Amino acid sequence: MDFKNLIAYQKAFDLAMQIFEVSKLFPTEEKYSLTDQVRRSSRSVCANMAEAYRKRKFSKHFISKLTDCDGENSETSTWLDFAFKCNYISKEEYIKLINQSTEIGKLINYMINNPEKFGVNIKK
């Protein structure tokens, strides 16, 4: 199986693309701060998940990279909080994106707590 087939990866990629589109409307003065940060953190969820999947031969590496994923997902949520409070996104858009981020977080945590279901050899 390819990491791109993971539901968590697909949902994270979709969220990153939605954030890319909505962040095009952020003010230009946010280009090198909020816009850049929210795009990078949302994309990093996908990149870290890809790395985790390739390192699944080693359970500690797999879990470590997924923990990085979870952290980047939480960072993305924080940047969305700022975007909403600065009135750069509507309440409806904010709720939709936050709900997606929450769902992704649950999927990541499922992977962390059940690595053997993703091809990780757990030594007992």
In angstroms, the CA 36 to CA 32 distance is 5
Give the Cβ contact number of residue 7 at 10 Å.
Answer: 12
- Token pair for residue 105? 């977080």
CATH top class, domain 3-114: mainly alpha
For the chain, the average pLDDT equals 95
Residues 100-116: pLDDT tens digits? Answer: 999 999 999 999 999 99
Residue with tokens 């969220």: 15
Question: Mean pLDDT throughout 50-54?
Answer: 94
Which alpha helices (DSSP H) does 1-124 contain, by range? 7-23, 36-54, 59-85, 91-113
Query: How many whole angstroms from its chain centre is CA 64?
Result: 15
pTM for the whole thing?
0.93
In angstroms, the CA 113 to CA 120 distance is 11
Distances (CA, A) of 10 to 6, 15, 50, 67, 93: 6, 9, 11, 18, 19
Residue with tokens 């750069």: 88
C-alpha Rg value of the chain to the nearest Å: 15
Q: Which residue has the higher pLDDT, 1 or 32?
A: 32
Locate the domains of the chain by residue range: 3-114
Are the C-beta atoms of residues 111 and 118 closer than 8 Å to each other? yes
